[in-house]
A = this chain, B = another copy of it.
Amino acid sequence: MSPPRAPFQGPVCPTPYGDTDRVQLGHGSGGKMSAALLRDHFLPRFENPVLSELGDAAVVGVDRGELAISTDTFVVSPLEFPGGNIGALAVHGTVNDLAMMGAEPLFLSAGFILEEGLPFEVLDRVVGAMSSAAVEAGVTVVTGDTKVVERGSADGMFINTTGIGLVSPAFRPGPGKAVPGDVVIASGPIGCHGIAIMAVREGLEFEVEIESDTAALHPLVSGLRESVGEAVHVLRDPTRGGVASALNEVALASRVGIEMKEGSLVIPGPVLAACEMLGLDPLYVANEGVLVALVSPDRAGDALASLRSHPLGEEAAIIGHAVEGHPGMVVMRTGIGGNRVVDMLPGDQLPRIC
Set B31, B75, B101, B150: member contacting A55, Cβ < 8 A: B101
* Segment among A225-233, A274-282, A322-330 that sits at the interface with chain B: A274-282
Given A101-B55, A107-B69, A162-B71, check contact A29 B201 (CB 8 Å): no
Complex CA gap A25/B353 in Å reads 12
Considering residues A59, A162, A172, which has the most beta carbons from chain B within 10 angstroms of its beta carbon? A162
As for how many copies of this chain the complex holds, the number is 2
What is the minimal beta-carbon distance from A49 to any residue of chain B, in angstroms? 13
Q: By the criterion CB–CB under 8 Å, are A155 and B158 in contact?
A: no
Tell whether A298 is near chain B: CB-to-CB under 8 Å.
no
Q: By the criterion CB–CB under 8 Å, are A241 and B31 in contact?
A: yes
Tell whether A56 is near chain B: CB-to-CB under 8 Å.
yes
Complex CA gap A233/B58 in Å reads 17
Residues of B within 8 A of A160 (CB): 71, 73, 111, 145, 160, 162
Given A28-B348, A245-B30, A347-B17, check contact A62 B67 (CB 8 Å): yes
Tell whether A175 is near chain B: CB-to-CB under 8 Å.
yes
| Residue-wise interface mask of A (155-195) relative to B, using a CB-CB cutoff of 8 A (1 in contact, 0 not) | 10010101111010000101110000000000000000000
Complex CA gap A172/B64 in Å reads 20
Q: By the criterion CB–CB under 8 Å, are B78 and A1 in contact?
A: yes
Q: By the criterion CB–CB under 8 Å, are A31 and B164 in contact?
A: no
Set B71, B100, B109, B346: member contacting A33, Cβ < 8 A: B346
Tell whether A144 is near chain B: CB-to-CB under 8 Å.
yes
Q: What are 25 A-B pairs with beta-carbon distances under 8 A?
A: A1-B203, A4-B203, A12-B346, A12-B347, A12-B349, A13-B346, A17-B347, A28-B348, A31-B346, A32-B347, A34-B240, A54-B175, A56-B98, A56-B101, A56-B237, A59-B103, A61-B67, A62-B62, A69-B164, A71-B143, A73-B146, A75-B113, A150-B352, A154-B155, A162-B162
Taking A31-B345, A56-B101, A57-B101 as known contacts, 16 extra A-B pairs with beta carbons closer than 8 A to each other, sorted by chain A number, are A5-B201, A7-B278, A7-B279, A8-B278, A12-B348, A24-B347, A25-B351, A28-B240, A29-B348, A30-B240, A31-B245, A32-B344, A58-B70, A61-B67, A62-B67, A164-B164
